[in-house]
Amino acid sequence: MNITVNGKEYILEYTFEAAECHECIDAAMDIFGGMMTAKIDSKHSEEMQVRDFLMSLSDLPRMAMDMFYAGLLENHGTGPDGDGTITSRADARCLYKQFCRENPEDERATSYYALCTSIAEQMEKDGFFKRTGMEDILENMESLVKSKQKKQPKKPMDHQRKKPTKAQKAAMEARAEGKENDFQS
């Protein structure tokens, strides 16, 4: 994913540097991990998924900046392959603010959610989820859940008392009334 700020092109790449940035991994798990586990475990209702997402909404700007910063590290950080222009999260935040000023029509500049969505697509292309182990962990969780669902035998329902029909209820009530009259005489 590329952005241009002040005429300079910046490349966001989610390979080694981003995969070793724990803030980025935490943010990705907070945002995407919940969605992925909800797909795995269908017992969670859509309402619960929405509620969980909305609870993390206030953290979205922070998480978006953590992931944005991590994406800049590979090519623009202080590591061996970086050009040294981004030395801190504050530098990344300033760069993003300038990007938003210069590109107000760009979807990534309109909301942190749109930025996260774009970052997620780049993470997938760069193999971030595989490299960090998130993909393997979630696949293992999915197979574990599926195997547990297969192993659970169906419980027979014949041991439960059947509910009486209307006619049966009426007959029981009539019998009960008849017994009450016998006691009163």
Q: Specify burial of residue 152 (Cβ count, 10 A radius: 0-12, 13-18, 19+).
A: exposed
- Average pLDDT across the chain, whole number: 84
Q: What are the residue ranges spanned by the domains of the chain?
A: 2-152
3-state percent breakdown (helix, strand, coil) of the chain, nearest 5: 70, 5, 25
Question: How far, in Å, are 15, 82, 92, 114, 125 from residue 73 at the CA level?
Answer: 10, 7, 9, 21, 17
Around Cβ 137, how many Cβ atoms within 10 Å? 15
Specify the long-range contacts of residues 134-143, CB closer than 8 Å, at least 24 apart.
134/25, 134/28, 134/29, 134/32, 134/33, 138/33, 138/36, 138/37, 138/40, 141/37, 141/40, 142/40
Minimum mean pLDDT range among 25-34, 47-56, 86-95, 137-146:
47-56
Given a contact cutoff of 8 angstroms between Cβ atoms, the answer to whether 23 and 132 are in contact is no
Residue 179 has pLDDT above 80, yes or no: no
For the segment 99-122, what is each residue's pLDDT rounded down to a tens digit? 999 999 999 999 999 999 999 999
The whole-number pLDDT of residue 176 equals 77
Given a contact cutoff of 8 angstroms between Cβ atoms, the answer to whether 6 and 94 are in contact is no
The angle at the Cα of 149, spanning 144 to 154, to the nearest 5 degrees, equals: 155
Instruction: Tell which wins on pLDDT, 166 or 20.
Output: 20
Residue 183 has pLDDT above 70, yes or no: no
Residue 79 has pLDDT above 70, yes or no: yes
Distance of alpha carbon 109 from alpha carbon 101, whole angstroms: 8
For the segment 126-176, what is each residue's pLDDT rounded down to a tens digit? 999 999 998 888 788 777 777 776 766 666 665 666 677 788 778 878 887
The whole-number pLDDT of residue 168 equals 79
Q: Which amino acid would we find at residue 65?
A: M
